[in-house]
Amino acid sequence: MGTKRFIKGLVFGAMAGGFITLLNKETREDVMDSTKKGGEFISRYARDPQLLVESTKEVYEKVRETAQQIGEDMEFINQKVEEIKELSPQVKDLIEDAKETLHSSSESYKEVFTEEDHQSNNSRVE
């Protein structure tokens, strides 16, 4: 019993809210325009049902093509992710090797420059 009252109240409230919003002139014009366009849309397809079939086929084809493209893109991305996973250990090793090389080179450079500075300081003193 309470559910029926709730539904009735909901329906009447929606109707009252709809009527109240129609008091605004701009809202009324928008509703009239939308209703008119909807009626024209329905009557056009009612007069020519084949047009509806063709439109539906076009939409279906676009959706199918888009889905196919998304599938291909996802496959490409998955392949690249797998390639990255395979390359990661190799890249890590390369980075470690480069880091070690740079570190040992920097130590060698420090020694060379330290020796040069030491020699130039000694030559100035003499």
Per-residue pLDDT of the chain (126 residues; tens, 9 = 90+): 678 888 989 898 999 888 888 888 898 899 899 999 999 988 988 898 898 899 899 999 999 999 999 999 999 988 988 887 787 777 778 888 888 877 777 776 666 666 655 555 555 545
Annotate 55-118 with three-state secondary structure.
HHHHHHHHHHHHHHHHHHHHHHHHHHHHHHHHHHHHHHHHHHHHHHHHHHHHHHHHHHHHHHHH
Confirm whether 17 is domain-assigned. yes
Check residue 58 and give its pLDDT.
Answer: 94
| pTM value > 0.75 | no
Distances (CA, A) of 81 to 87, 90, 95: 10, 15, 20
Structural domain total, the chain: 1
Confirm whether 53 is domain-assigned. no
Confirm whether 38 is domain-assigned. yes
Confirm whether 43 is domain-assigned. yes
Range of the domain at 8: 1-47
Q: Cα–Cα distance between 112 and 106 in angstroms, integer?
A: 10
Confirm whether 107 is domain-assigned. no
Confirm whether 109 is domain-assigned. no
Confirm whether 3 is domain-assigned. yes
